[in-house]
Structure 1
Amino acid sequence: MPTKESGDAEVRLGSRFRRLFGATLVSSIGTGMHTAALPLLALQSTGSPMALSFVVMAAEVPWVLLSLHAGVVVDRLDRRRVMVWADLGRFAVLVALAVLIVTAQVNMVWLVLTAFLLGVGQVFFDLAAQAAIPDFVTRDPRSLAKANGRIAAAESNGEDFVGPPLGSALFGVWNFLPFAGNALSFAASGLLIFSIGADTKPKETLEAPRKSVRSDMVEGIRWLFGNRALRTLATVSCLGNVAATAQFAMLALLAMEVLGLPDFGFGLLLTATAVGATTGGLGAAAASKRFGPGTVMLTGKAGVGAAILVLGLTANAWVAAAMMMVTGALMTAEKVVVSTLRQQIVPDGLLGRVLSSSRLVVMAGGPVGAALGGILASVFGVQVSYVAAGAFLILVALLFYPLLNNRAMMRATDDSGR
């Protein structure tokens, strides 16, 4: 029988975190809305597939161009203010886009610029929110795991479950509506963050002489690669992203050619992933406490590999939906555990820069996975790409077991506390 001290239910996160959670949920719904509505607007306004590809690309480019700079900003400034300004900036961009829609002045240049600026706001908001969690709760692993799990569930519900169908439905009624509603969501998120009292704790970086931006970025990168546990986590996450991107890049083709699903059925597969992600986010803290963070990561990685493998071997839509739910749950649980470990290991004054450096390493696996998935599907068939990605993830879990087991993770967090 669990004691009062050990029970997850007794962990209290406080009103400051609850406002961060609310802001993240509202902001994520807005992100999900424009993720669905912007491509639809691009096709409606230009009728060009190239415009669609440019819009999607423009939303991803800020992570490559600005993540390291954003990490410096997050470490130098009040993270609450960074999130507020990110939301206000996205609010202004969407108000401008709504005016362009009403006046019929939308063109490809405005759409690409809008996607890019919204992506910039997301980079700063996401990094600041992740780095602020230890500020709003504590560095106790139970509190961090519970907080990260709720943030992951909020992001999944907003960006994947509620936002996209809401954005596309409102677009069908009037193309102006999803962007006006999106602007309001960012305004509400900014107000919630603004209502959180400013953190009075001095940042470690402000106690030392101010360095150049380049020096700060290099310090974050060196910290990441100089710590074996963090280096291993970033490497494994990057390899996992290779397989995950290969899976999702070919999902529409798998749904159409193998599962025989219509467009609506493809959307249901994505919904199944979001449902699983919510479950994984909310249950990650309890699983990590019960089995240990290393076990959750390794089992999650191998379990995702097995689920992707089954996706490559089945032609049953219900089995495929179940596997998508499994991948969503396990990938999100892994994400929560990794975020918690980083927040435990990295000093507060370096957290933004180390997070941004890690995110850059992880995202490098995306284009590789998309390319490999496309090549394997073109040469051998779409199911082969899934079998290969699943087997690859299982192999990764086996190879990294010595560096990611519970003992290794406990040693890493113990060393960071000394």
Structure 2
Amino acid sequence: MFIPTQEAALPLPQDNKGLWRNRNFVLVLSGYTLSTFGNCFHSVALSLWILQTTGSARYMSAILLIYIFTQLAFGTMAGTVVDRMDRRKLMWMADSIRGVLVLGVALCIAIPDVPIAIVFALTALVSIGGLFQSPALHASIVNIVGVSKVQKAVGFINISDNTARISGLALGGAFVAMFGGSVAIIVDACAFFLSALLVLACTRFPSSHSTEQKEKQSFWQDMKSGLQYIWKDSFIRSLVFLAPVVNMFFVSSLMLIQVMAVKQWSANPMQFGLIEACIPTGYIIGAGVILLIDTRMKRRGLLICGSLIAMSPVLITLSLLTSAWPAIPLILLMGFLFSFCTMLSSIILRVKVSPELQGRVFSTLGSLSSVLPPVGIVAASFLADLKGPDIPLTGFGIALLLISVLILLFQRALRTFN
């Protein structure tokens, strides 16, 4: 059974062009940014429609469960398809199909008395489409830009992603109020169609696939070999599990901080708004630093470990505060440290994992990232109601410190990665 090794990822052709002169990268990044921006309009419109139509929080949680279920049920299979197909073709097909499905959601919202089950079914299909597009995009980056420019490319993708989400959510509510939910969702469909056209305008992505290797194994053998690769390689396994676990602690802590801001810090609207803005701002600053340093950055594995360890005292300090103003710079620092943990982990995966396996690796990463944060939020909510938000926040800080120290001590390959 063929299982590419870490070293198989290294001999990719280097792209000597500047990143912004790389036509494929610019087109793919533009399409990704547009679809992310449009999806925020969709999210706001769908949430408001469900609440206005049903008045039930259960139906809101059903949407979250749909995304979790589709990730768990189809994530690894979708990643295997990504590794067996032309990724450019898969990306524009997934965006086109999602555009059509989203138009169906807009139609359902516009027509009175449409059964909500139809909206849920269409939402599930849109989610499944994303399972193909997202791993195809992330697995293609190293082939599009070359190994030497992966760090810079990932930095720009993360900055574009956060900017699109912040602006999309900020404008989405106003757009829905002015034009209605169905029109806002049509904007998302148009964004998907534009993204598909931009990917179609790309030239064929460079490929490291071997026809002989692809013909050796069946689909199920490919899926099994991908899971075996992740499980047997302790270095890759630690990175695949690290990002979702850190994300779980991070998202759950944010929820607890919001509760503390209202119940214990008595934050006014301006302070609460600043708290909400600090996380994406800190993340973008961190991404900017990673972009600025680029190839001059050394000991990236140690930086990941150091950022994880540094987040622990920040969480514990936040749990001890009694007012909002001292918390704001610490929350900004949290976003900054979080960007180093997640972005550098993603960069290392792109460099160390064979491109032939990156679809399966990133789909597994996406599945774990969709499941663990909601679990953490449920646990944090239960503990906050039982003990107050400060005690579980302290517990999360201690747990994160223990995990960080264990990784630092026992994962030498990550600690010494340059």
Bin for the TM-score computed over the shorter chain:
0.7 to 0.9
Contact 2:75 2:363 in 1 (8 A): yes
Residue 72 of structure 1 and its aligned partner are, at CA, apart by 0.7
One-letter amino acid of the structure 2 residue matched with residue 331 of structure 1: F
Q: Distance in 1 between matches of 2:212 and 2:276?
A: 44
The residue number in structure 1 matching 2:209 is: 203
Alignment RMSD (CA, Å): 2.5
Contact 2:31 2:195 in 1 (8 A): yes
One-letter amino acid of the structure 1 residue matched with residue 372 of structure 2: G
Contact 2:307 2:337 in 1 (8 A): yes
Q: Distance in 2 between matches of 1:405 and 1:219?
A: 22
1:235-268 CA-partner distances (Å, limit 9, x unpaired): 3334323312321343443332123346786555
1:122-173 CA-partner distances (Å, limit 9, x unpaired): 2222111110101111122xx11111111111122223x1121222221122
One-letter amino acid of the structure 1 residue matched with residue 85 of structure 2: L
Paired residue for 1:23, among 3, 6, 31? Answer: 31
- Partner-residue secondary structure (3-state), 2:266: coil
1:82-135 CA-partner distances (Å, limit 9, x unpaired): 221221122112211222233324442133223322322222221111101011
Residue 281 of structure 1 and its aligned partner are, at CA, apart by 2.1
The residue number in structure 1 matching 2:382 is: 375
One-letter amino acid of the structure 1 residue matched with residue 382 of structure 2: I
Matched, 1:246 2:252: yes
The residue number in structure 1 matching 2:46 is: 38
Matched, 1:172 2:141: no
Matches within 5 A, 1:57-76: 57-76=65-84
One-letter amino acid of the structure 1 residue matched with residue 259 of structure 2: L
Q: Distance in 1 between matches of 2:330 and 2:183?
A: 34
Q: Distance in 2 between matches of 1:11 and 1:384?
A: 49
- Partner-residue secondary structure (3-state), 1:312: helix
Residue 179 of structure 1 and its aligned partner are, at CA, apart by 0.7
Q: Distance in 1 between matches of 2:216 and 2:173?
A: 46
Residue 42 of structure 1 and its aligned partner are, at CA, apart by 0.5
Contact 2:74 2:128 in 1 (8 A): yes
User: Do the aligned partners of residues 240 and 212 (structure 1) sit closer, same or farther apart at CA in structure 2, a change above 3 Å counting?
Assistant: same
One-letter amino acid of the structure 2 residue matched with residue 336 of structure 1: M
Contact 1:217 1:353 in 2 (8 A): yes
Contact 2:208 2:355 in 1 (8 A): no
User: Do the aligned partners of residues 329 and 34 (structure 1) sit closer, same or farther apart at CA in structure 2, a change above 3 Å counting?
Assistant: farther
The residue number in structure 1 matching 2:140 is: 132
Contact 1:33 1:164 in 2 (8 A): yes
One-letter amino acid of the structure 2 residue matched with residue 167 of structure 1: G
User: Do the aligned partners of residues 204 and 299 (structure 1) sit closer, same or farther apart at CA in structure 2, a change above 3 Å counting?
Assistant: same
Residue 364 of structure 1 and its aligned partner are, at CA, apart by 4.7
The residue number in structure 2 matching 1:149 is: 155
Contact 1:23 1:190 in 2 (8 A): yes
The residue number in structure 2 matching 1:4 is: none
Contact 2:19 2:25 in 1 (8 A): no
One-letter amino acid of the structure 2 residue matched with residue 201 of structure 1: S
What count of residue pairs does the alignment treat as equivalent?
Answer: 398
The residue number in structure 2 matching 1:414 is: none
Moved more, 61-70 or 299-308: 299-308
Contact 1:19 1:196 in 2 (8 A): yes
One-letter amino acid of the structure 1 residue matched with residue 42 of structure 2: H
Q: Distance in 2 between matches of 1:59 and 1:267?
A: 28
Q: Which has the higher contact order (CA 8 A, sep 6+)?
A: 2
The residue number in structure 1 matching 2:62 is: 54
Contact 1:292 1:406 in 2 (8 A): no
Task: Name stretches of at least 5 consecutive residues in structure 1 with no aligned partner.
Answer: 1-9, 411-418
User: Do the aligned partners of residues 106 and 307 (structure 1) sit closer, same or farther apart at CA in structure 2, a change above 3 Å counting?
Assistant: farther
Q: Report sequence identity in percent.
A: 22
1:312-343 CA-partner distances (Å, limit 9, x unpaired): 22233333333332222222222221111111
The residue number in structure 2 matching 1:336 is: 343
One-letter amino acid of the structure 1 residue matched with residue 79 of structure 2: G
Please give the TM-score of this superposition, normalised by the length of structure 1. 0.87
The residue number in structure 1 matching 2:200 is: 194
Paired residue for 1:91, among 95, 99, 116? Answer: 99
User: Do the aligned partners of residues 55 and 307 (structure 1) sit closer, same or farther apart at CA in structure 2, a change above 3 Å counting?
Assistant: same
Contact 1:224 1:358 in 2 (8 A): no
Matches within 5 A, 1:207-286: 207-261=213-267, 266=272, 268-286=274-292
Q: Distance in 2 between matches of 1:213 and 1:263?
A: 53
One-letter amino acid of the structure 1 residue matched with residue 93 of structure 2: W
The residue number in structure 1 matching 2:416 is: 408
One-letter amino acid of the structure 2 residue matched with residue 203 of structure 1: H
Q: Distance in 1 between matches of 2:94 and 2:268?
A: 38
User: Do the aligned partners of residues 210 and 109 (structure 1) sit closer, same or farther apart at CA in structure 2, a change above 3 Å counting?
Assistant: farther
The residue number in structure 2 matching 1:390 is: 397
The residue number in structure 2 matching 1:181 is: 187
User: Do the aligned partners of residues 111 and 190 (structure 1) sit closer, same or farther apart at CA in structure 2, a change above 3 Å counting?
Assistant: same
Task: Name stretches of at least 5 consecutive residues in structure 2 with no aligned partner.
Answer: 1-16
Q: Distance in 2 between matches of 1:58 and 1:73?
A: 21
Q: Distance in 2 between matches of 1:329 and 1:70?
A: 32
One-letter amino acid of the structure 2 residue matched with residue 333 of structure 1: F
